[in-house]
Structure 1
Amino acid sequence: MELFAGQWWTAGRRRDEVEDMLRGSSLVFALIDTSIDRLVGFARVITDGVYLAMVLDVIVPEDRRGTGLGRTLLDSIINHPQVGSVRSVELICQPNLVPFYQRWGFTDQVGQSRLMRRTSDSVLTS
């Protein structure tokens, strides 16, 4: 919950909702610094295993960014058998993170596709 509290899009999540979210995710990736028993990296994937995998909630706390934890998460995700074999792996990110994700072959050139959202969370529309 501490990790989620530090991100603009996850700050308001409640423990019970996070538990439901984790159960509903196809894959969950977590990096733990065992010396301080702290979660220092997180990501999750929803996938049908054939056509699409959606990478969500990639989080590394600000004090750990630039240390390779994000790379470890993305390598683990892309190389996972349930992700590596699907036709398309997609994610949503802020513009400043596009160069980071391009290292794994992600592109913001998606033809005429547009992100559309129906949400009750006003944080996601600003």
Structure 2
Amino acid sequence: MDVSEIEVRDEVGADCLPYLMDLFASAWWTATRTTSEVTRMLAASDLVFALIHRPSERLVGFARVITDEVYLAVVLDVVVAPGSRGSGLGAMLMDAVVGHPRLAAVRSIELVCQPELMPFYRRWGFTEQVGRSRLMRRTADPLLTGA
């Protein structure tokens, strides 16, 4: 995919919601999300990053952030369309996230990823060196427990 044809937008309009649902269907942790849940999630997210292929108006990448804009920002749901992976769209998303003005003064930006993606995120300064901290989770989603 030609990245010069991609636009970063700060919302997912109703016209792109079906594309977001298709995108979520392609990722193991988002595959069971419903349209009504995703609509609520979009409204409650502090920052939304949508990569739109201008010629087709199709959403081909997505990420979101929850933040207090001072101490912490958490990057969530970084997803690129399967047919566009490896084309630089993930880097475009992460550049938009870490370069966003509302995150410029945030002390820590965090994310959770699979081990094979750690080298990708290291390019933006993310590290698995988090002191003695450990991730803990309370969830009703069996996809997130490995059970």
Bucket of the pairwise TM-score, normalised by the shorter protein: over 0.9
The Cα shift of 1:33 comes to: 1.1
The Cα shift of 1:85 comes to: 1.4
The Cα shift of 1:66 comes to: 1.1
Cα shift readout 1:95-117 (whole Å, capped 9, x = no counterpart): 00000000000000111111100
1:89 aligns with 2:109: yes
Which residue pairs with 2:8 in the alignment? none
Give ranges in structure 1 of 5+ residues lacking alignment. none
2:128 and 2:98 map into 1 onto residues whose CA distance is: 17
TM-score by length of 1: 0.97
- Runs of 4+ in structure 1 deviating by more than 4 angstroms, as ranges, are none
1:61 and 1:119 map into 2 onto residues whose CA distance is: 26
The Cα shift of 1:34 comes to: 2.4
1:64 aligns with 2:84: yes
For residues 102-117 of structure 1, what are the structure 2 equivalents within 5 Å? 102-117=122-137
Aligned length: 126
1:51 aligns with 2:71: yes
Cα shift readout 1:58-102 (whole Å, capped 9, x = no counterpart): 001221111110111000110101112100000000000000000
Identity over aligned pairs, percent: 63
User: What RMSD over aligned residues (CA atoms) do the two structures have, in Å?
Assistant: 0.7
1:33 partner letter: H
1:34 aligns with 2:54: yes
The Cα shift of 1:36 comes to: 2.4
Q: Secondary structure at the match of 1:40?
A: strand
TM-score by length of 2: 0.84
